[in-house]
Amino acid sequence: QVQLVESGGGVVQPGGSLRLSCAASGFTFSGYGIHWVRQAPGKGLEWVAFIQYDGTKEHYSDSVKGRFTISRDNSKNTVYLQMNSLRTDDTAVFYCAREPYNWTPLGFDYWGQGTLVTVSS
């Protein structure tokens, strides 16, 4: 069965860095784009970043562009999110999600359980 498992969350000071991982199983990983979506405490879902199935295209929300980098290793079925220059308003549960594509994106059909990132001094 399709599984996405996030890891790497934790507590970090403002200005610090953290790398999240999203390990996938149960499907042909190299055939799917993967996204990161976050939810700050008491807030709604916010799209963060996307990486194409082959790693050749990346897109970022304006709030993280220049600070976060998404990458993938298809040999390890894993997507990463390198987060630098973290701010207190980056505190959130981070989810990775799979997105099928057929001429247009088909929505996020599988999600991980999320990993909590807390930015605090």
Partner 1 sequence: SYVLTQPPSVSVAPGQTARISCGGNNIGIKTVHWYQHKPGQAPVLVVHDDSDRPSGIPERFSGSNSGNTATLTISRVEAGDEADYYCQVWDSSSNHRVFGGGTKLTVL
Q: Which residues bind partner 1 (CB under 8 A)?
A: 35, 37, 44-47, 50, 59, 61-62, 95, 97, 104-109, 111-114
Please identify, using beta-carbon distances, which residue of 15 and 95 lies nearer to partner 1: 95
Q: How far apart are CA 52 and CA 48, in angstroms?
A: 14
Q: Which two tokens stand for residue 27?
A: 């499907």
Please identify, using beta-carbon distances, which residue of 36 and 80 lies nearer to partner 1: 36
- In the bound complex, what is the minimum distance in angstroms from residue 75's beta carbon to partner 1? 26
- In the bound complex, what is the minimum distance in angstroms from residue 104's beta carbon to partner 1? 6
Please identify, using beta-carbon distances, which residue of 37 and 119 lies nearer to partner 1: 37
- In the bound complex, what is the minimum distance in angstroms from residue 120's beta carbon to partner 1? 21
Q: Which residue has tokens 């290793």?
A: 73
Which residues are CB-neighbours of 99 under 8 A, at least 6 positions away? 32, 33, 34, 35, 50, 105, 106, 107, 108, 109
